[in-house]
Chains A and B, each alone.
Chain A
């Protein structure tokens, strides 16, 4: 069964600090992994996408890593800002060609406080 587990479920950090969110998956055959940011009351926004051959991808202060061997990914946020307060969702796609099965993690709720 395809599963995506994220940790921690929630996190509170001080503004300016760094943090790392984790995503473990049991999805096969792996196609790609995405991280989304979802602000309260809004739809998710794509941060990064990584395929099997990529092990790191950056988007500004967000850096995602992928270890396809251990089936783990992390999202590192550098120098956090109040606007980083949101839920971060890990999404893994399995399959190939036109048919893809998408599995979502529950998300990590991040709160950045002054």
Chain B
């Protein structure tokens, strides 16, 4: 079974631009969560999608948005990029929405904002 796939793996953007990141879950997984990881803050929850609906949301500004498609693939969009958005963006998928379901993380997308 293929693991969680994230594309692109690396991205360099400039302030003010926008970016779209993609996450393809493990086959059969319907829940996709997005996280931002920085050295100072650690992992922070962005949002979770299940069956194309946002089910849970962290404390991030509206510049961060996402969506999920009918095949469970998910995209995350960040508009008007700021230097502080430089981070590793991870998605994690699981089959259901039980908190005890194991989450499987992708390798992440390293975003650098110049």
Contact = CB atoms under 8 A, between A and B. Distances in A.
Contact of B102 (A46, A51, A95, A100): A46
Contact of A104 (B44, B100, B105): B44
Given A42-B107, A104-B43, A107-B42, A99 B56 contact: yes
B55 A43 contact: no
Contacts of A104: 42-45
B4 A43 contact: yes
Interface in B61-114: 90, 92, 97, 99-100, 102-108
A45 B44 contact: no
> Contact residue range for chain B?
20 to 34
Contacts of B4: 43
A19 to B, nearest CB: 20
Given A89-B43, A102-B45, A104-B44, A43 B99 contact: no
A43 B108 contact: yes
Contacts of B99: 31-32, 93, 95, 100
Interface string A11-25: 000000000000000
Contacts of A98: 55, 97
Contact of A51 (B56, B100, B104): B100
B56 A43 contact: no
Contacts of B107: 41-43
Contacts of B102: 46, 49
Interface of A: 31-32, 41-46, 49, 51, 89, 91, 93, 95, 98-100, 102, 104-107
Interface of B: 4, 41-45, 55-56, 90, 92, 97, 99-100, 102-108
| Interchain residue pairs A-B with the least CB separation, the first 4 | A43-B105, A104-B43, A106-B42, A100-B99
